[in-house]
Amino acid sequence: MKRLTIFPLLLNISTLMFSFAGQYTPVYQKGSLVYSNTLADTSALRGWVMEGPGTLRFSDGWMEMQAQAEEWHHVLWCPEPFPDSFIAEWEVQNLDTDAGLLIVFFAAAGINGEDIFDPSLPPRDGTFSGYTKGRINSYHISYYANNPKNPARELAHLRKNSGFELVQTGTEGIPKASPAVHRARLIKDRGHILFFIDGRKIIDWRDDGKMHGPALGSGKIGFRQMQWSHFRYRNFNVWNLVNTHREKHGN
């Protein structure tokens, strides 16, 4: 008799716990398309801004980026301002697995809300401190880490700028020696940030607006490479975010 009485009770409790947990698990879907770029040729990059000595080449529908003679680091900015909640995807492939480091900046804006290209802001030339400790705010994720000056590091980092604050260390992003095509997915739901490589989650963090200042909102997206990197990119797309949890429960 005890078993018959206790089992349904345990079942009911476990069901309630599952429902409670599931109630607060966001489900993200793509909404309307905000921006789409094949990155396939020079016309597709009209309006994009390169900072630092990065060079671009185009072949077979890909945009190839590197610094000639590994001269210095560089950042390529999309000119479009993106909302505080979005899903972004792109494809990326390593053309030289000896060394390199990739970063995506997002929610980038001046520390007083200016556009990052506002002429009142100091010029930037790819030097890292100009992006992490200067007069622009952003989040950034390093999703390929093969720095010859720090070969032991392979993990992804999420940092909050200005200030270069490490807020989460994730798992490995793109494997060091992989020559394969990889799909990156970045989700920003206001202060909730997730990042995936080929569907594998490597970053999942919530900015509560208390740690290192308020959560960052809308802003620009940029692709950074350290000087040794030689990668190619294609099919950069950004969608409005549909949070089915928020829609359903009105949160």
Q: Is 15 helix (H, G, I), strand (E, B) or coil?
A: helix
Q: Is 9 among the domain residues?
A: no
- At position 19, the amino acid (one-letter code) is S
Per-residue confidence (pLDDT) for residue 15, from 0 to 100? 31
Q: Is 18 among the domain residues?
A: no
CATH number at residue 118: 2.60.120.200
Token representation of residue 111: 């520390």
**Per-residue pLDDT tens over the stretch 80-113:** 999 999 999 999 999 999 999 999 999 999 999 9
The answer to whether 34 and 83 are in contact (CB under 8 A) is: yes
Range of the domain at 62: 38-249
Q: Is 219 helix (H, G, I), strand (E, B) or coil?
A: strand
**Per-residue pLDDT tens over the stretch 65-76:** 999 999 999 999
What lies within 8 Å, CB to CB, of 56 at 6+ separation is 42, 45, 50, 63, 64, 65, 76
Q: Fill in the DSSP letter of residue 208.
A: -
- CA–CA distance, 139 with 203 (Å, rounded to integer): 12
Give first-to-last CA distance, the chain, whole Å: 43
- CA–CA distance, 90 with 67 (Å, rounded to integer): 21
Q: How confident is the model at residue 199 (pLDDT cuts 50, 70, 90)?
A: very high
Q: How confident is the model at residue 25 (pLDDT cuts 50, 70, 90)?
A: low
Using the Cα atoms of residue 122, residue 41, residue 199 and residue 84 in order, give the sign of their dihedral: positive
pTM to 2 decimals?
A: 0.87
Q: Is 100 among the domain residues?
A: yes
Q: Fill in the DSSP letter of residue 80.
A: -
- CA–CA distance, 24 with 118 (Å, rounded to integer): 39
- pLDDT over threshold 60, residue 7: no
Give the number of C-alpha atoms closer than 13 A to the C-alpha of residue 172, restricted to the C-beta side.
Answer: 9
**Per-residue pLDDT tens over the stretch 214-251:** 999 999 999 999 999 999 999 999 999 997 665 444 44
Q: Is 74 among the domain residues?
A: yes
Q: Is 240 among the domain residues?
A: yes
**Per-residue pLDDT tens over the stretch 152-168:** 788 999 999 999 999 99
- pLDDT over threshold 90, residue 207: yes
- CA–CA distance, 211 with 153 (Å, rounded to integer): 25
Burial degree of 4 (CB within 10 A; 0-12, 13-18, 19+) = exposed
- CA–CA distance, 145 with 175 (Å, rounded to integer): 8
- At position 161, the amino acid (one-letter code) is N
Q: Average pLDDT of 117-135? A: 97
Token representation of residue 123: 């010029």
- pLDDT over threshold 70, residue 16: no
Count of domains forming the chain = 1
- pLDDT over threshold 70, residue 9: no
Q: Is 175 among the domain residues?
A: yes
